[in-house]
Structure 1
Amino acid sequence: MPEIIVIAHNIRSTHNVGAIFRTCEGFGVQQLILSGYTPYPDLALQPTPPHCAYQPEETARADPRLPHIREKITRQIHKTALGAEALVPFDYQPELDLEQFASYRIVALEQASTSVSLQQYQPPSKLVLLLGEEVHGIPAETLMLVDDIIEIPMYGQKESFNVSVATGIALYALTTAG
């Protein structure tokens, strides 16, 4: 099974973030990075078990948000995470910084002209799975910075899956490939 870090960049919904936490926990993801305007739970909840390959620079920093905002967002994420937010090592980064993962293959989950079908993709031993905004996906300028782009085939009339559902599909395929 590959070593996987997930980056959830500019995800709007706290419910999607909670579902992504729960999905990451179920698939043994090493780290969940929440970036951009993605809501994040209380930074004091950050677990960093010894098996975590990526260590944030500031593992015990104070949460900069007002207490009532921090608590409200943490409660909303907990509704779908159901405690996974206290089990999955996570970090919040205001800006998307892919350069810090130089030893990982950066894989974007996105529909693009250069994407490879998820069924045909052979995951490397270490990868970062990049998720993008619910409505507009990952911007073209960001896609230019990744190593691979994978896509989940769609057979219905809708153009995309919910980001948390897509995360589950991708993580299942990536952890069982081979």
Structure 2
Amino acid sequence: MANKKLKLDELNRVDPETFKQQKKHPITVVLDNVRSGLNVGSFFRTCDALAIERIILLGITPKPPHREILKSAIGATETVEWIGMETNSELIEFCKEQGLPIICVEQTEESKEIQRVNWELPCALVFGNEVDGVNDELITASYFCAEIPQFGTKHSFNVSVCGGVVLWDMIRTLITK
């Protein structure tokens, strides 16, 4: 017998109100000056799918109800908690107050490949600008930096793809402990 694709009503997903009440993975995703609303919307969708606690939209990162965010988020801006912040110092202070070590997803001299990271929660996971990456001030404030190993000619992944890979790796390792 052929494998049958499930219909939407067969996926057993929770409704938005139940989702808001359910326990989340204590990860705060930080988008550091991410320019594209489509990338931001993709992060919202990924954070909804993986039950991530919140997103912080830092600096010039577009904020809902931006048209591009809504287009790719497909309603996830209504289910995932988000906070807008203007400055790095505001973020760093928030993380200190909340007891969130900052982990930057960035290629540095000392970054750890994600498969070698012993993820511990809670944490703030920072993803950077599509061209310039994570701001140096946040790298300096971070507990460590993590990167995805790459084997091709390009030097980086699209930021929303990177987010999906890293967040899934975190959740996968945490649920299999």
TM-score by length of 1: 0.79
Structure 2: give runs of 5+ residues left out of the alignment. 1-23
- Separation in 2, partners of 1:151, 1:20: 17
Residue by residue over 1:26-76, the C-alpha shift from the partner in whole angstroms, topping out at 9 and shown as x without a partner, is: 11110101010000004xxxxxxxxxxxxxxxxxxxxxxxxxxxxxx2x22
1:3 maps to amino acid: P
Contact 1:106 1:130 in 2 (8 A): yes
2:40 maps to amino acid: V
User: Larger Cα Rg: Structure 1 or Structure 2?
Assistant: 2
Alignment of 1:166-177 (within 5 A): 166-177=162-173
SS of residue matched to 2:151: coil
- Separation in 2, partners of 1:141, 1:41: 26
Q: 1:2 to 1:79 in 2, by over 3 A?
A: closer
Which of the residues 28, 52, 62 maps onto 1:5?
28
Which of the residues 32, 38, 50 maps onto 1:15?
38
Matched with 1:78 is 70
Contact 1:2 1:174 in 2 (8 A): no
- Separation in 1, partners of 2:93, 2:172: 27
Which of the residues 139, 145, 149 maps onto 1:149?
145
SS of residue matched to 1:144: helix
Verify: 1:160 aligned to 2:153, yes or no: no
Larger helix percent: 2
Matched with 2:94 is 100
1:165 maps to amino acid: V
Misfit runs of 4+, over 2 Å: 139-142
TM-score by length of 2: 0.79
2:117 maps to amino acid: Y
- CA-based RMSD of the aligned residues comes to 1.3
Verify: 1:91 aligned to 2:91, yes or no: no
Contact 2:28 2:124 in 1 (8 A): yes
Matched with 2:50 is 27
Structure 1: give runs of 5+ residues left out of the alignment. 43-72
Alignment of 1:61-140 (within 5 A): 73=66, 75-96=67-88, 97-102=91-96, 103-140=99-136
- Separation in 1, partners of 2:166, 2:54: 16
* Paired-residue identity, %: 34
2:34 maps to amino acid: I
SS of residue matched to 2:52: coil
Compute the displacement of 1:125 (Å): 2.2
Contact 1:9 1:130 in 2 (8 A): yes
- Separation in 2, partners of 1:158, 1:83: 32
